[in-house]
């Protein structure tokens, strides 16, 4: 079944269609009020409010919390609703509200709640789980307890998570930074990291249990790191019976997508799965580039003006099967497959004046393919003590990333240009990698205040890049091999790591200490037309981390911490393959790069409410061998590559 047929079926089955449109008027009404104690009129902060339709009072459509001053505000379409108020020590209060378009905003005024004073022979305590839970080194948003999760996607859900922002172009940031990773069930996911906005938009929110925002990655997480982690925890344990959803989305640029989700459980076996398709389209854009050269080089100026447009799409499938023989043991098998491609067309006009006079027009077409396959097996062993857990897992990933391009040079004038009129070049790059990961983790809460954790991990990575280069010989109009452009790479990496951590929490204060050790061995085999080199590297890193926290209030936290992160250069930084689609600006990697070490110190104050998230961070970090891109001009050609030449300090 091809991708267009799958998308058509999504529309036939779709129960809900969300599309961006500017023609639908906004009929929402703002409803506000203030919750107070009936005895002394004092405000009741952080009370939970559930909103339901009057016709179905048992089904919440929204949940929110009052602010510190007891006030609340939300938007609703006209209709009849039931507002139910919950506060510890107070009698539950239900109040009917009729929302009309003629009264906007609708002020419910001061709403008094009375203290609970009932003697019972038997006491049953029912607590509502909060949407947001703050811990020492992370924040957890409960997607399962968000009523709107049943009608939205995961990207929409992220817009509501504190410390995470999603802008109008669906770009995701964590604490105002793009330097973060997205995990799926505690593990890196290439399926998401390659196209996060599109993939998350195609995942239904009701397939997610929690979204964890890990602001200070500790010793448990890989030292190859970032400023933070967004961990999406899927709901693997389905309820008895069947549940599912289908949906679709579209944007103003001509992009569209669809998704379907199914969860079922029969006895001790459970299955969850989802499939999604997205089509990405971007209108034509213009670009310009100018470069001037002065003495002691021969004086010359180069201008490039061009246009670019692109489109593409992808399909992904993800499934998970669980087996729970008893309450202490859980087995899980997961598999995912994703793939797609992007097409790009670039038209360019070039004019060089001065020491090297020439001009030309070029047409470049490129196709980038992406994809991968993931298979993981997990075992979780719980113990009688609450929170004590042993987990073991194995994960295999195969991630091909191929690309090809063809460029044609026409209307060439001047004898100093590299190619004659009518010259064409082709390049096909076959790149990708395989990864095997084995991991064991153990956590033990010794008592209510102390807990310890430890783990071991092994990673084997095998990356490769092969390219086929050809050119059109204009003298006889035949395609011929171009061995001078050969730049191939083999890269293997073995990483053995272990960690230990200790946590302490008493009252409003918390502390977490950790130490991680990582041994890395890698071999890089670089192959060109006149060079065949093998580079071996072997290094060991000790990565400490410290986090201290103090909870000023229910939604206010003060944190301080230190951690060291290392950054191993990826295959695209190491790949010596020369991208000369533009012969005036060529780029290539550096296979001799070392891992970058960065030391981070931070003090953070965070406060969040239903509508406003406030985060203030004072951060100091430094690195002495940062991987840095740089450019130089040689024989009139701009070379772009990387080296460990960066020394930076950031406040």
For 352, the enclosing helix (H) or strand (E) is strand 329-354
What pLDDT does residue 101 have? 87
pLDDT, tens only, 288-339: 999 998 888 889 999 999 999 998 888 888 888 888 888 889 898 989 888 8
Same domain, 108 and 173: no
Domain extent at residue 40: 27-113
The three-state secondary structure class of 200 is helix
What pLDDT does residue 80 have? 93
Q: Which residue has the higher pLDDT, 72 or 169?
A: 72
In the chain, the percentage of residues whose pLDDT exceeds 70 is: 90
- What CATH number has the domain bearing residue 99? 2.60.40.10
Domain boundary (235, 251, 280) is at: 235
How would residue 241 be classed by pLDDT, with cut points 50, 70 and 90?
low
Asked if residue 2 has pLDDT above 60, the reply is: no
E strands in 185-299: 187-188, 208-214, 228-234, 241-250, 256-266, 269-293
Cβ atoms 106, 99 nearer than 8 A: yes
Are β-strands 478-481 and 450-473 bridged in parallel, bridged antiparallel, or unpaired? antiparallel
What pLDDT does residue 613 have? 61
Q: Which residue has the higher pLDDT, 119 or 645?
A: 645
In the chain, the percentage of residues whose pLDDT exceeds 90 is: 29
Selection from 158, 207, 205, 160 nearest residue 182 by Cα: 158
Same domain, 90 and 183: no
What pLDDT does residue 129 have? 53
Cβ atoms 92, 86 nearer than 8 A: yes
Strand arrangement, sheet containing 93-99: 60-65, 48-53, 79-86, 93-99
> How far is the C-alpha of 401 from the C-alpha of 389, rounded, in Å?
37
What pLDDT does residue 437 have? 95
Same domain, 69 and 138: no
Counted domains in the chain: 3
What pLDDT does residue 555 have? 67
Asked if residue 502 has pLDDT above 90, the reply is: yes
- Hey, what are 421's tokens? 């009129």
Same domain, 159 and 225: yes
Residue in the block written with tokens 């689609």: 581
Tell whether 650 is covered by a domain: yes
Cβ atoms 435, 461 nearer than 8 A: yes
Tell whether 361 is covered by a domain: no
Same domain, 146 and 73: no
Q: What is the secondary structure of 109-148 as a DSSP string?
A: EEEEEPBP----SS-----PPPSEEE-SSEEEEEGGG-GG
Same domain, 82 and 222: no
Average pLDDT over residues 116-122: 50
Of 12-21, 35-44, 159-168, 182-191, minimum mean pLDDT range: 12-21
pLDDT, tens only, 20-71: 333 344 578 999 999 998 888 888 887 889 899 998 888 888 888 888 788 9
End-to-end CA distance of the chain: 53
Asked if residue 84 has pLDDT above 60, the reply is: yes
Tell whether 318 is covered by a domain: no
Residue 272 backbone zone (phi > 0: left; psi -120 to 50: alpha; other: beta): beta
How would residue 462 be classed by pLDDT, with cut points 50, 70 and 90?
very high
Asked if residue 609 has pLDDT above 80, the reply is: no
Tell me the average pLDDT of the chain. Answer: 83
Tell whether 648 is covered by a domain: yes
Most confident of 166-170, 242-246, 388-392, 527-531: 388-392
Q: Which residue has the higher pLDDT, 10 or 221?
A: 221
Tell whether 522 is covered by a domain: yes
Asked if residue 490 has pLDDT above 70, the reply is: yes
- Hey, what are 615's tokens? 């985060």
Average pLDDT over residues 173-196: 77
Cα–Cα distances (Å) from 26 to 19, 77, 106, 215, in that order, read 14, 9, 16, 36
Helices and strands counted in the chain (H then E) = 5, 35
Average pLDDT over residues 497-515: 92
Asked if residue 455 has pLDDT above 90, the reply is: yes
Q: What is the secondary structure of 377-417 as a DSSP string?
A: EEEEEE-SSTT-EEEEEEEEEEEE--EEEEEEEEEEESSSS
Average pLDDT over residues 257-269: 81
Tell whether 9 is covered by a domain: no
Contacts of 52 (CB under 8 A, 6+ apart): 58, 59, 60, 61, 81, 82, 84
Same domain, 545 and 640: yes
What pLDDT does residue 119 have? 44
What pLDDT does residue 564 have? 86
Cβ atoms 273, 320 nearer than 8 A: yes
Residue 160 backbone zone (phi > 0: left; psi -120 to 50: alpha; other: beta): alpha
Domain boundary (85, 113, 141) is at: 113
Beta bridge partners of 494: 460, 521
- CA trace torsion 266, 269, 270, 273 (10° rounding): -110
Q: What are phi and psi of 56, to 5 degrees?
A: -140, 70
Asked if omega into 296 is within 30° of 0 (cis), the reply is yes
How would residue 599 be classed by pLDDT, with cut points 50, 70 and 90?
confident
Same domain, 192 and 58: no
- Hey, what are 289's tokens? 């580039």
What pLDDT does residue 600 have? 85
Same domain, 191 and 48: no
Same domain, 197 and 78: no
Q: What are phi and psi of 473, to 5 degrees?
A: -80, 110
How would residue 272 be classed by pLDDT, with cut points 50, 70 and 90?
confident
What pLDDT does residue 240 have? 56
- What CATH number has the domain bearing residue 193? 2.170.130.10
Tell whether 342 is covered by a domain: no
pTM: 0.66
Same domain, 51 and 163: no
Asked if residue 225 has pLDDT above 70, the reply is: no
What pLDDT does residue 51 have? 92
Average pLDDT over residues 253-272: 81
Q: Is the dihedral of CA 209, 617, 551, 509 positive or negative?
A: positive
Domain boundary (217, 235, 253) is at: 235
Same domain, 102 and 137: no
Tell whether 205 is covered by a domain: yes
Cβ atoms 349, 307 nearer than 8 A: no
């Amino acid at each position: 079944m091809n991708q267009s047929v799958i998308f058509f079926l999504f529309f036939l089955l779709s129960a809900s269609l969300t599309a961006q449109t500017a023609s639908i008027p906004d009929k929402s009404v703002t409803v506000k009020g203030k919750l107070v104690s009936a005895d002394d009129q004092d405000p009741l902060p952080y009370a939970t409010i559930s909103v339901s339709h009057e016709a179905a009072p048992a089904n919440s459509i929204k949940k929110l919390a009052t602010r510190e001053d007891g006030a609340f505000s939300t938007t609703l379409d006209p209709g009849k609703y039931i507002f139910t108020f919950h506060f510890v020590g107070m009698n539950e209060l239900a109040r009917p509200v009729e929302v009309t378009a003629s009264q906007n905003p609708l002020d419910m005024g001061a709403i008094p709640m009375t203290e609970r004073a009932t003697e019972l022979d038997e006491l049953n305590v029912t607590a509502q789980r909060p949407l947001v839970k703050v811990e020492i080194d992370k924040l957890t948003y409960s997607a399962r307890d968000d009523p709107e999760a049943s009608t939205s996607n995961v990207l929409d859900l992220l817009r509501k998570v504190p410390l995470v922002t999603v802008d109008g172009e669906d770009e995701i940031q964590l604490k105002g930074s793009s330097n973060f990773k997205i995990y799926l069930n505690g593990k890196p996911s290439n399926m998401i990291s390659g196209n996060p906005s599109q993939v998350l938009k195609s995942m239904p929110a009701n397939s997610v249990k929690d979204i964890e925002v890990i602001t200070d990655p500790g010793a448990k997480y890989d030292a190859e790191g970032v400023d933070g982690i967004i961990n999406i925890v899927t709901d693997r344990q389905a309820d008895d019976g069947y549940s599912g959803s289908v949906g679709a989305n579209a944007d103003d640029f001509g992009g569209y997508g669809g998704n379907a989700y199914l969860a079922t459980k029969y006895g001790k076996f459970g299955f969850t799965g989802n499939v999604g398709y997205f089509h990405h389209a971007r209108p034509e854009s213009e670009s310009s580039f100018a470069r001037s050269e002065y003495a002691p080089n021969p004086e010359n100026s180069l201008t490039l003006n061009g246009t670019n447009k692109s489109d593409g799409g992808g399909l992904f499938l993800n499934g998970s099967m669980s087996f729970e023989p008893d309450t202490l043991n859980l087995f899980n098998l997961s598999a995912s497959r994703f793939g797609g491609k992007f097409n790009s067309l670039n038209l360019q006009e070039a004019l060089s004046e001065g020491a090297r006079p020439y001009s030309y027009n070029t047409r470049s077409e490129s196709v980038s393919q992406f994809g991968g396959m993931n298979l993981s097996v997990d075992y979780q062993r719980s113990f009688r003590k609450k929170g004590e857990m042993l987990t073991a897992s194995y994960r295999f990933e195969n991630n091909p990333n191929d690309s090809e391009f063809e460029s044609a040079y026409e209307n060439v004038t001047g004898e100093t240009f590299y190619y004659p009129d009518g010259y064409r070049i082709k390049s096909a790059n076959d790149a990708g990698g395989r990864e095997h990961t084995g991991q064991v983790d153990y956590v033990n809460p010794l008592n209510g205040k102390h807990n310890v954790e430890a783990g071991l991990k092994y990673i084997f990575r095998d990356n490769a890049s092969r390219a086929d280069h050809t050119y059109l010989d204009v003298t006889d109009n035949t395609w011929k091999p171009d061995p001078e452009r050969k730049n191939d790479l083999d890269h293997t990496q073995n990483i053995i790591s272990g960690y230990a951590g200790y946590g302490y929490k008493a009252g409003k204060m918390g502390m977490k200490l950790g130490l991680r050790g990582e041994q890395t061995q890698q071999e890089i085999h670089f192959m060109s037309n006149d060079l065949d080199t093998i580079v071996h590297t072997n290094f060991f890193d000790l990565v400490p981390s410290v986090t201290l926290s103090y909870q000023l209030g229910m939604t206010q936290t003060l944190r301080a911490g230190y951690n060291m992160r290392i950054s191993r250069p990826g295959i695209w930084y190491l790949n010596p393959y020369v991208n000369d689609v533009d012969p005036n600006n060529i780029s290539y990697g550096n296979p001799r790069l070392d891992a970058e070490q960065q030391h981070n110190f931070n003090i953070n104050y965070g406060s969040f409410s239903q509508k406003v998230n406030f985060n203030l961070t004072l951060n100091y970090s430094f690195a002495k061998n940062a991987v840095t891109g740089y450019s130089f001009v040689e024989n009139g050609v701009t070379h772009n590559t990387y080296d460990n030449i960066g020394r930076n300090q950031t406040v």
